[in-house]
A and B are shown apart, each in its own frame.
Chain A
Amino acid sequence: MYDLIIIGGGPAGMTAAVYAARKKINTLLISYDIGGQGLTSWLVENYMGYQFIGGRELMQKFEEQLNQFPTSVKVEEGKMVEKLSKVDGGFEVKTHDGETYQARAIVLATGKSPRKLGVPGENELLGRGVTYCAICDGPVFADLNVAVIGGGNSALEAANDMVKIARHVYLISLVALTADEILIDRIKNAGNATILLEHEVLEIKGTNRVEGIRIRELKSKQEKELAVDGVFIEIGLIPNSGLLKELVAPNRLGEIQVNCASETGMPGIFGAGDVTSVPDKQIVIAAGEGAKAALQAHRYLQRLRN
């Protein structure tokens, strides 16, 4: 049995692992990827110590730091955790390949995943024009027409990147744009972007690849079709809190409710990063919360021994 299992390998999980290693806690970190949401940031301009750094590059630096402690922290990459349950003396984690792991304490740092539109064609045409990863797939749509769905910072960042690559960009938002003013100004001045506010997406059309989208203006109920080759869905994120659901109910937003000591309401399970109720989802915050969760887990483990 491990002392600690950290689930999630983003900024929160990796920082928790480094703090756990420095306390010589026998730790296992399980994650589908190393870097998590940090990997999908184009440019990070608010992680202290770096005036600007690519998200991927910053995550590589986190990983290098984590790899300084190979004896304390074992890393299982490429695994999806499917179940977390309580067992005698601690907890059991089951991964997608049927393996099980046990530990006395858990840090949940599972982050968030892209929210789906829930319209016909979305699942069917994923990878065939529908994408949730603008930073990955943007260049595929060079000189084509694309739609970016959403009105927050992620959507506006995607739209502002795509106006440089695509022929024309339609920015479609259900509500008024909520992104930073600087990003809104930039897209308004782009010259090859059309902004459609108070429009909802009804359907993504196409057989083998995206051919267009059907949208409806909320007020007039008027529908129209836009011929596009790509649809970038940037309508926010949902917390990956499902693992804890059976043990502790999530809050109204689906997040893991934590107190200021990273405790979840289930003794021995700590939460950190974007999956938790801590306001504002930022790399610097997630990293700090990861450190806190690991130190609290350390205190918990000490109490168990005494």
Chain B
Amino acid sequence: MAREVKLYTTPTCPYCKMAKKFLEDNGIKYQEFNIAEDKAAREELKKCGSLAVPTICFEGETLVGFNEAELKQKLGLK
């Protein structure tokens, strides 16, 4: 089942680049929101309870920061 993965980023954030690479390497489709430009996305991010990037939201989960081990576990990857 395809799940909706949202990735909130800023263009200057190195950990966002790492998160993107991780998702791409693992074949996970995601929608990226650049909160430096996209005001609506910035508000959405705050509603998730996060004030940091990268934040990854899917199925009610909010993962703040890039933590590969945690991401793998939550996304059910080996």
Q: Quick check: is B7 within 8 A (CB to CB) of the other chain? A: no
Inter-chain CA distance A59–B18, complex, in Å, is: 13
B13 interface residue, CB < 8 Å from A? yes
Once the chains are docked, how many angstroms separate the CA of A54 from the CA of B13? 11
The answer to whether B12 touches A127 (Cβ under 8 A) is no
Q: Given A96-B69, A142-B42, is A35 in contact with B51 using a C-beta cutoff of 8 Å?
A: no
Q: Determine whether A69 belongs to the interface, using a CB cutoff of 8 Å to chain B.
A: no
B50, A127: Cβ atoms closer than 8 Å: yes
Which of A133, A136, A137, A142 lies at the interface centre, i.e. has the most chain B CB atoms within 10 A of its CB?
A136
CB contact under 8 A between A42 and B12, given known A136-B52, A137-B52, A139-B36: yes
| Contact residues in B for A39 (Cβ distance below 8 Å) | 14
Categorize the interface residue count of chain B: 20 to 34
Determine whether the beta carbon of A136 is less than 8 Å from that of B42.
no
Contact call A140/B49, Cβ cutoff below 8 A: no
Check: A74 CB closer than 8 A to any chain B CB: no
| Complex contacts, A139 vs chain B, CB 8 Å | 10, 35-36, 42
Known: A78-B68, A96-B69. A140 touches B52 (CB 8 A): yes
Tell me the nearest residue of chain A to B36, going by C-beta: A139
Q: CB-CB contacts of B57-73 with A at 8 A, as 1s and 0s? A: 00000001100110000
How close is A32's CB to chain B, nearest CB, in angstroms?
9
Interface range for A: 20 to 34
Indicate with 1 or 0, residue by residue over B22-61, a CB within 8 angstroms of chain A CB atoms: 0000000000000110010010011001111101000000
A66-87 near B? 1/0 per residue, CB < 8 Å: 0000000000001000000000
User: Would you list which residues of chain A between 128 and 158 have a CB under 8 Å from chain B?
Assistant: 128-129, 131, 133, 135-142
Contacts of B55 in A (CB 8 A): 127
Known: A139-B36, A142-B42. A128 touches B51 (CB 8 A): yes
Contact of B51 among A40, A96, A140 (CB under 8 A): A140
Known: A127-B52, A128-B49, A229-B51. A140 touches B14 (CB 8 A): no
Least Cβ distance of B24 to chain A in Å?
Answer: 14
B15: contacting residue among A59, A97, A133, CB under 8 A: A133
User: Is A216 on the interface with B (CB-CB < 8 A)?
Assistant: no
List of A residues within 8 angstroms of B51 by Cβ: 127-129, 131, 137, 140-141, 209-210, 229-230
Closest chain A CB from B1 CB (angstroms): 27
CB proximity of B47 to chain A, nearest CB, Å:
11
Residues of B within 8 A of A135 (CB): 12-14
Interface residue ranges, A against B (CB under 8 Å): 33, 35, 39-40, 42, 54, 56, 59, 78, 96-97, 126-129, 131, 133, 135-142, 208-210, 229-230
Residues of B with Cβ closer than 8 Å to A? 10, 12-18, 35-36, 39, 42, 45-46, 49-53, 55, 64-65, 68-69
Q: Could you list some 22 contacts between A and B, CB below 8 A? A: A33-B15, A33-B18, A59-B14, A96-B69, A127-B50, A128-B49, A133-B52, A135-B12, A136-B12, A136-B13, A136-B14, A136-B16, A137-B51, A137-B52, A138-B12, A140-B35, A140-B42, A140-B46, A140-B53, A142-B42, A209-B51, A210-B51
